[in-house]
Structure 1
């Protein structure tokens, strides 16, 4: 049994060995075949690589040759261009040399000709000097003969001729001046009038006339006795506390408060109203009420100033200047309320400055402040324009604004375009109909002065100031004044009025000359 097992074991081992040997032989045969195929492939690849390398080498060589040929051709072009430029430069140089040579030859010829002409010129000068001497001698002889004939010396004749020429020249000059002014007016006045009219039309104005008296109405005449008080002590206390004169007369249910200071008059009016309403009227109560009323008025003045600058769009104004603006409410100028006038001027200045391309905000500021010199708390002898300028400088206003304030009545020289704008707008506000109240005596005197100026000229027969002094009509004697002199007379009278008189608006001067031929048929 064991022998059989051993036998089969040996047979199995031998079979395994034989199978392993067979497998190795098969593997070795396959490996040799793979190696053979690999060697063939490698040979083929190497052969193809060599062929491709040769092809690439040939292409590169061809490209290098083409690049070389291209660079060579460009180099030849550059060299040819440089040679051409050099040849052109040489040609220009030769041309310049030939031109210079010809110019030198021509200059020599010209110098020769100039020498000949100079000799001829000197000869002619000598000849002319001799002729001038002969003419001077003949002229002297002729002048002497004319002096003997006329009986006048040369200087006397010259003086007479100068006088006659002077008169003629003066007439021609006046006519020329008049024509020049008219031509300027035709072009300049049209635009100026357009700007002024547009400015006026865009501003809504109010007419407010302040007086130096106020009327205080009473419920009954019995209150008058209480206001007067025992032996007049109440009325004296009111007058002393307010500085206002109180007039109690026969006017029914009314008393009159008289004072040039509108602030004091308003304080007195409000104080009386409080005293009458309260019923307690005695000196101590009067002083207390007047004190409170004055404080309330001061607060109202500041409030009015603030409201005014806000309405006009003016910013950064000093508190003291705001207070002065508020005080304008209680001041008047020729019957025109000063605050209303200043607001109107500020609006006019803003519109006109905008039309002329000037700073409108600065113009409004100067227009509002132009009359602050009229509202100082103490009386000053300085002109109000100069005083207002000093106040504006004190409180930090700009130089243009200060100059406009000081120059709006020509006390100082105008230094900016803002100054004439303020002056014109001030005149517009004051000259419009109904703006100011004129005293009858001064109005009549102005008309008389206009006529007197006209009578001061030779040849004036009659003179009439019409249209409230805005036109002067002058009638001249036709025998003494001709048409040319009539035109000159109109110009001279207008210049005299402009120089010697102060008036609102403008004055038109019309000279009338007529010639009458009268015959009677019988």
Structure 2
């Protein structure tokens, strides 16, 4: 019974479940259909809206592109019209030019024909003229008795002599004008330069005076002259103690010894312990310190002139120049003078002032070692400058500051040579022995007399000028300049002398006649 009930319940449950499923599925299907219908309607509306927007956009784009196309087409049409107008204008211009060219071509053709005709006429006339010239030449040769070549030679000789005389006169005129202008400007520059140089002494002597209290003179002499003898033996300098108040004199031909003795004597005077052992100690110490003293002198000289950056070895050599002389002129003083004068001249001429100062200090540096090296002081100076890094321009200036070694290659080199000559030739700068002076005067006159046509020679102004009187029948006015040049060059070649020598050639013409 229970089994039947359970079976019925199961069947009933199945039927009920099926019914419920059917009812729920139908409802769900209806709902889905409604949603699908709604989606389709929405999609249709959206599609219609998109189609409408797309149509509007397409219409806008079509209208815009159409407007752009019309604008572009209009611009191109205008440009084409403009090109067409320009081409038409060029075509018209070319047509006109072509017409002008055709007209000119016709004119040129006509001119060419006329020229050909004229050339033909000229050629005919030339032939006729040549025939007439040949007849005239033959007639002239027959009358004069000279051939054409002989007549031409005589004419050329006459013209050559005339041109030479005219050229000599013009050359002399221009030379005189040039000399007047150059001399005036040179005197102004040199006067300005020399005014800046004021030397304390003219020449170096062989003695040095040391101020000393009179009460110390006896102590310096020592017992029986012992102190003086020791000092003289150690320094190689003569000590002169006389009645001259407040001083003693050191005498020596060697400036280095004299300077060492001067420094040592000044130290002894300050120390007051004057006895042989102390003298020997101070003299030996002074000799050891002398190199540093020399370098200090060089540094002071460079600073005084205003030259910086010199090599320490060059400064030492510069200091040694204080103890070298040339014709009695102190070489360090000469070097500083040259630097100052060269700088002054460079300032007037617009040249390199610093270079000229440096060249003035270095130009005679070789004289500080001239006894230690072979060669002239120019070459030694140039070698030293090159060794310590000076420029090629500086080396050329050093080598060329005296004639005969190398030609100057810059304005500064010429300025250095001029400054050196001014310093050497200023009054009182250098001295000479009477015997050497007389020999030099005689040699100058002898050289001048060796030339043909020289009648008398007179050396004046202490040998700084030589006046040469020539025979007027042997030497013409045109030859005077060449004779003066030859005499000057021979003097330069055969003589050594300070400064420069002026050569003056004088030709005096006297014409005599008698009144009857």
User: Which range, TM-score by smaller chain?
Assistant: 0.5 to 0.7
Q: In the alignment, what sits opposite 2:491?
A: 501
Check 1:86–1:424 CA distance in 2 against 1; reply closer, same or farther (3 A cut).
Answer: farther
* SS, match of residue 464 in structure 1: strand
Question: What's the secondary structure of 1:325's corresponding residue?
Answer: helix
SS of structure 1 residue aligned to 2:359: helix
TM-score normalised according to structure 2 size: 0.66
Matched with 1:371 is 364
Q: Which runs of no fewer than 5 residues in structure 2 stay unpaired?
A: 1-73, 212-216, 241-247
- Asked whether the 8 Å contact 2:381–2:398 carries over to 1, the reply is yes
Helix, strand or coil at the partner of 1:501: helix
Query: Which deviates more from structure 2 when the two are superposed, residues 204-213 or residues 220-229?
Result: 220-229
How many aligned positions are there? Answer: 423
Match of 1:511 in 2: 506
Q: Is the 8 A contact 2:472 2:507 kept in 1?
A: no
Deviations 1:458-509 (A, max 9, x none): 655434333334444444555666xxx43x3442233234433336246262
Report the counterpart of residue 353 of structure 2 in structure 1.
360
Q: Evaluate the alpha carbon distance shift between residue 425 and residue 247 of structure 1 in structure 2; reply closer, same or farther with a 3 A threshold.
A: same
Taking a change above 3 Å as real, the CA distance of residues 147 and 291 of structure 1, as seen in their structure-2 partners, is: farther
Q: Is the 8 A contact 2:379 2:399 kept in 1?
A: yes
In the TM superposition, what is the alpha-carbon distance from 1:263 to its structure 2 partner? 1.6
Asked if 1:331 corresponds to 2:324, the answer is yes
Q: Secondary structure of the equivalent of 2:104?
A: helix
- Maintained 8 Å contact 2:295/2:315: yes
In structure 2, distance between residues paired with 1:279 and 1:508: 60
Q: Which residue among 312, 335, 339 is the counterpart of 1:342?
A: 335
Asked if the contact 1:346–1:368 (Cα under 8 Å) also holds between the matched residues in 2, the reply is yes
- In the superposition, relative to structure 1, how do residues 438 and 165 fare at CA in structure 2: closer, same or farther (>3 Å)? farther
Mapping for residues 236-385 of structure 1, pairs under 5 Å: 238=233, 259=253, 261-267=254-260, 291-376=284-369, 378-385=371-378
- Of residues 314-323 and 107-116 in structure 1, the stretch that sits farther from structure 2 once superposed is 107-116
Q: What do you get for the CA RMSD once the two structures are aligned?
A: 4.6
Q: Secondary structure at the match of 1:435?
A: coil
- Cα deviation 1:244-280 (Å, max 9, x = unaligned): 69899xxxxx999664x43245446777999999886
Alpha carbons 1:346, 1:366 under 8 Å: kept: yes
1:324·1:375 contact (CA, 8 Å) conserved in 2?
A: yes
Between the aligned partners of 1:160 and 1:142, the Cα distance in structure 2 is 19
Alignment correspondent of 2:482: 492
Does residue 197 in structure 1 map to residue 191 in structure 2? yes
**1:462 is paired with a residue of what secondary structure?**
strand
Match of 1:104 in 2: 98
Give the alignment of 1:131-280 within 5 angstroms. 131-136=125-130, 138-140=132-134, 142-143=136-137, 146=140, 153-211=147-205, 238=233, 259=253, 261-267=254-260
Q: Is the 1:473–1:512 contact (alpha carbons within 8 Å) kept by the matching residues of 2? A: no
Determine if contact 1:305/1:322 at 8 Å carries over to the other structure.
yes
Classify 1:188/1:137 alpha carbon distance in 2 versus 1 (closer, same or farther; 3 Å). Answer: same
Aligned to 1:436: 430
- Cross-structure match for 1:68: none
Alignment deviations for residues 135-184 of structure 1 (CA, whole Å, 9 cap, x no partner) = 44554555555556555554444444444433333333333332222333
What is the CA-CA distance between 1:209 and the residue it aligns to?
1.8
Taking the aligned partners of 1:160 and 1:442, their CA distance within structure 2 comes to 56
3-state DSSP class of the match of 2:506?
strand
Which residue of 111, 120, 132 corresponds with 1:117?
111
TM-score by length of 1: 0.65
Compared with structure 1, are the counterparts of its residues 142 and 264 closer, same or farther at alpha carbon in structure 2 (3 Å cutoff)? farther
Alpha-carbon contact 2:227-2:275 (below 8 Å) kept = no
For the 8 Å contact 2:400–2:408, the answer to whether it is kept is yes
3-state SS, counterpart of residue 432 of structure 2: coil
Paired with 2:84 and 2:441, the residues of 1 have a C-alpha distance of 95
Deviation for aligned residue 1:297: 2.9
